[in-house]
Amino acid sequence: MTGNIRLLSDTLARAKSEDRAALIAYLPAGFPTVDGGIEAIKAVFDGGADVVEVGLPHSDPVLDGPVIQTADDIALRGGVRIADVMRTVREAHTATGKPVLVMTYWNPIDRYGVERFTAELAEAGGAGCILPDLPVQESELWREHADKHGLATVFVVAPSSRDERLAEITAAGSGFVYAASLMGVTGTRESVGAQAQDLVGRTRAGTEMPVCVGLGVSNAEQAAEVAGFADGVIVGSAFVKRLLDAEDHEAGFSAVRALAAELAEGVRKR
């Protein structure tokens, strides 16, 4: 195991050794600005996040809810580019020494060039990539370059995934498995749903990789619920909403730091 995938794996293993779930936060690059996005990630790490996923803003984020769509639109109107995403990863990782991944749809990587993207992400200190819309059977080129550069390839599984499909996905992935706890787009929910626990159990049956649950957690109580059966709790929309609702950037950074602290406490109550 090479590169920052080791840092990611060690971070998740350390959380497990502490008998808790890891807290994984999502924030899009370029939101509220490129510099502001970097500061927001630092604030989330400062609050207690173990890992951060940096979103690569996309003009058609079909799997994201309205909160993240709004943030992506702000970032894109601000002119964010892949170079800004790489800078965000580099500065956030360098400042904190913690694992930073990129979450992106496949199309921007395909246009940019797989070798170029993986080489730049590794050089920036990135731990890997979450690719929610890349089918496993079409992922060989990506995985070849990701492996060469020591990057994790995180695939997403859903409640609709059959057991044989779960086995195929987990065999191809690395780092951790992203389990989508509820069907449909991302966003906060009043309840994380019972589907998630069943999905985690079925996924774990075919892999020793950590299984981390995303889509819907917005407070410490929900984080504790998910931490009771998952290796990691992924939170995105709740952080983005704190930034959107803030009266200025500094207030937004304080708000996401406070939310991270609340959620970090929640994942310790498994």
φ, ψ of residue 177 to 5 degrees: the values are -105, 130
- Assess contact for 14 and 6: CB atoms under 8 A: no
Q: What is the pLDDT of residue 64?
A: 66
Gap between the Cα atoms of 232 and 263, Å rounded: 12
SS (H, E, C) 109-154: HHHHCHHHHHHHHHHCCCCEEECCCCCHHHCHHHHHHHHHCCCEEE
pLDDT at 257 over 70: yes
Please count the residues of the chain.
Answer: 270
**Model confidence, pTM:** 0.94
Hey, how many other C-beta atoms are within 10 angstroms of the C-beta on 256? 27
Q: What is the pLDDT of residue 185?
A: 45
Q: Per residue in 87-101, pLDDT tens?
A: 999 999 999 999 999
Q: Per residue in 21-76, pLDDT tens?
A: 999 999 999 999 999 999 999 999 999 999 999 999 987 755 667 888 899 999 99
Q: What is the pLDDT of residue 182?
A: 60
The catalytic site residues sit at: 53, 64
Q: Per residue in 145-203, pLDDT tens?
A: 999 999 999 999 998 899 999 999 999 999 999 998 764 444 545 444 678 889 999 99
Q: What is the pLDDT of residue 227?
A: 95
Q: What is the pLDDT of residue 100?
A: 98
Q: Residue 5: enclosing H or E segment and its boundaries?
A: helix 5-17
Q: Per residue in 113-155, pLDDT tens?
A: 999 999 999 999 999 999 999 999 999 999 999 999 999 999 9
Domain boundaries, the chain: 4-268
pLDDT at 248 over 60: yes
Q: What is the pLDDT of residue 183?
A: 42
Going by the DSSP 8-state scheme, the letter that residue 267 receives in this structure is: G
Q: What is the pLDDT of residue 190?
A: 46
pLDDT band of residue 1 (cuts 50, 70, 90) is: low
Q: What is the pLDDT of residue 3?
A: 67
User: Cα–chain-centroid distance for residue 153?
Assistant: 12
Q: What's the CATH class of domain 4-268?
A: alpha beta
Residue among 141, 133, 158, 128 at smallest CA distance from 51:
128
- Assess contact for 169 and 123: CB atoms under 8 A: no
